[in-house]
Amino acid sequence: NAGVTQTPKFQVLKTGQSMTLQCAQDMNHEYMSWYRQDPGMGLRLIHYSVGAGITDQGEVPNGYNVSRSTTEDFPLRLLSAAPSQTSVYFCASKGQGYGYTFGSGTRLTVV
């Protein structure tokens, strides 16, 4: 089925560990983005990309790294996990339509 696939769905990390959240879409969307969702704060933009080879920072980029080597994939890297990065992470893509297509989210806990 066409859509945005995020892996893993759940993850527990120890402080200082690194990991990569995977995001892939098969709709040939140029735009992709990563958001984090925290209680009382809605979804906040971490990084986004308007096409392969192009990335930019959003509202809360510190502690995260991204790259976009292909149109399909947009991984999010946590360089050295901190408890403040405990959150639910969403990947989203957008084509020519008005709205986003969201992945199913990753619940990350940093202990």
Partner 1 sequence: AQTVTQSQPEMSVQEAETVTLSCTYDTSESDYYLFWYKQPPSRQMILVIRQEAYKQQNATENRFSVNFQKAAKSFSLKISDSQLGDAAMYFCAYRSANYGQNFVFGPGTRLSVLP
> Contact residues for partner 1 (CB under 8 A)?
31, 33, 35, 40-45, 48, 50, 58, 88, 90, 92, 94, 98-100, 102, 104-105, 107
Min separation Cβ 31 and partner 1, Å: 5
Name which of 17 and 52 has its Cβ closer to partner 1.
52
Instruction: Say how far apart CA 1 and CA 18 lie, in whole Å.
Output: 30
- Round to whole Å and give the CA distance between 101 and 97: 10
Q: Which is nearer to partner 1, 33 or 80 (CB)?
A: 33
Report the alpha-carbon distance of residue 54 to residue 108 in Å, rounded. 26
In angstroms, the first-to-last Cα distance of the chain is: 35
Q: Which is nearer to partner 1, 17 or 105 (CB)?
A: 105
